[in-house]
Amino acid sequence: MVTINENYLKLKAGYLFPEIARRVRVFTESNPDAPIIKLGIGDVTEPLPEACRTAMIKAVEDMGDRATFKGYGPEQGYAWLREKIASQDFQARGCEIDASEIFVSDGGKCDTGNILDIFGKGNTIAVTDPVYPVYVDTNVMAGHTGPVNDKGEYEGLFYLPITAENNFTAKIPDRPVDLIYLCFPNNPTGATASKADLKAWVDYARANGSVILFDAAYEAFITDPELPHSIYEIEGARECAIEFRSFSKNAGFTGTRCAYTVVPKSLKVTASDGAEVTLHQLWNRRQSTKFNGVSYLVQRGAEAVYSPEGQSQVQGLIKFYLENAQIIRQKLSDAGLTVYGGVHAPYIWVKTPQGLSSWDFFDKLLNLCYVVGTPGSGFGAAGEGYFRISAFNSRENVEEAMSRITDNFKV
């Protein structure tokens, strides 16, 4: 008889974003003419930067010439892209990251899930609450948790509540944990971490032999020069942290697919037989076995992000989305709603009005305003009573959505 991975049966009814899509689909079937504006999933709307498009067109031409044709590329990514990443994203900020420690992939979401392949089942895992659901669900799938309780919390995970009361910064655990998921600027709350905040985590991880899984997918939205963009700006992080980055939100690659993960060669763990093992070695083996690399065309597009033209165009995109975020913050604040985030991140974290639950507010926004957002409870128990609104959309849609919401939810 065929058996299945029954860990999948422990998952809650549905992954957050497919459940949103299901509810929207049901609504549109009954209201086919409703002009819905989607500010839920963090998908970009503006075109790829011209520099990236030009580079990808040139790459297509390369594929039509035997002399420049590319077949299988290196699983870790082409050296010319990895070197640009190392130089401009890390070394320029004083981080000692070498190109050989960078692994190009098809998505940060994929990497944060796939990284679990190199870790065992006996680890204690800490996640913030609220949290990007992929961190939790992939651990459930891998068999690292027990069942879910009535609050939506899984046995076997160590939850770190982040709330308005603690300024959305997680408290250092009062006991040792093995794997720690951190995301700054934070998804979903939009909160940031200072160098002092990250130093406290690095010091804790080094003292306890922990590994920090640091998701920096939104670092490009940081505008304060005092805030760190990478955990490797903190001394000692090379010995305890893996960092995930993406071209999705800064350069609009959500549909093009390109990201990368940094695994320092100095990050070592001890195997059960006492041998010292580098996680770089394990991740390299995993990628070489299970991944054939990102396409040549896409990597050429990503390389163009680092050209002067690409940098200017990417900054234009970031500025546009941050202006959207400012409009959302201002309009909702003027209407009397309590809002957080949206300053160094493309997400605004809203306290639901009138005592509504997260999903009740979702349904009201959909039915009254024809606007789609993301219920905070979908990110964890501590997200109940909050709602995430994304700044990824056209200016016209953002302004229209705010007009509809404020007309219906003035406090």
Helices 50-62 and 296-304 sit at what angle, rounded to 10 degrees? 150
Are 235 and 101 members of one domain?
Answer: yes
14 has a pLDDT exceeding 90: no
pLDDT tier at 392, thresholds 50, 70, 90: very high
Are 241 and 291 members of one domain?
Answer: yes
Binding residues for substrate: 15, 42, 109, 132, 187, 292, 388
What's the rounded Cα separation, in Å, for the pair 191 and 358?
Answer: 19
pLDDT tier at 343, thresholds 50, 70, 90: very high
Q: Does a structural domain hold residue 63?
A: no
Q: Does a structural domain hold residue 65?
A: no
What residues are paired with 129 via a beta bridge? Answer: 161
130 has a pLDDT exceeding 90: yes
* Domain membership of residue 401 as a residue range: 6-47+310-408
CA atoms within 13 A on the CB side of 33: 0
Are 270 and 256 members of one domain?
Answer: yes
Number of residues that this document lists for the chain: 411
Binding residues for pyridoxal 5'-phosphate: 72, 132, 187, 218, 246-248, 257, 292
Percent above pLDDT 90 for the chain: 92
* Confidence (pLDDT) at 13: 58
We report the CATH number of the domain holding residue 346 as 3.90.1150.10
pLDDT tier at 17, thresholds 50, 70, 90: confident
Which of 290, 307, 324 marks a domain boundary? 307
| Largest separation between any pair of C-alpha atoms in the chain | 66
* Confidence (pLDDT) at 396: 98
The tally of domains found in the chain comes to: 2
Percent above pLDDT 70 for the chain: 99
pLDDT in tens, 271-292: 999 999 999 999 999 999 999 9
Are 39 and 160 members of one domain?
Answer: no
Are 366 and 400 members of one domain?
Answer: yes
We report the CATH number of the domain holding residue 121 as 3.40.640.10
Q: Does a structural domain hold residue 149?
A: yes
12 has a pLDDT exceeding 80: no
pLDDT in tens, 192-249: 999 999 999 999 999 999 999 999 999 999 999 999 999 999 999 999 999 999 999 9
Q: Does a structural domain hold residue 125?
A: yes
pLDDT in tens, 96-121: 999 999 999 999 999 999 999 999 99
Q: Does a structural domain hold residue 164?
A: yes
What residues are paired with 223 via a beta bridge? Answer: none
Are 318 and 290 members of one domain?
Answer: no
Question: If you average pLDDT over residues 38-48, what whole number do you get?
Answer: 93
Q: Please count the other Cβ atoms lying within 10 Å of the Cβ belonging to residue 155.
A: 10
Are 249 and 342 members of one domain?
Answer: no
pTM as predicted? 0.96
Binding residues: 15, 42, 72, 109, 132, 187, 218, 246-248, 257, 292, 388
Q: Does a structural domain hold residue 358?
A: yes
19 has a pLDDT exceeding 90: no
Which of 307, 330, 356 marks a domain boundary? 307
Q: What amino acid is encoded at 133 in this protein?
A: P
Q: Does a structural domain hold residue 57?
A: no
Are 84 and 31 members of one domain?
Answer: no
Are 394 and 247 members of one domain?
Answer: no
Question: If you average pLDDT over residues 176-181, what whole number do you get?
Answer: 98
Which of 274, 307, 340 marks a domain boundary? 307
Q: Please count the other Cβ atoms lying within 10 Å of the Cβ belonging to residue 254.
A: 17
| Mean per-residue pLDDT of the chain | 96
Are 287 and 319 members of one domain?
Answer: no
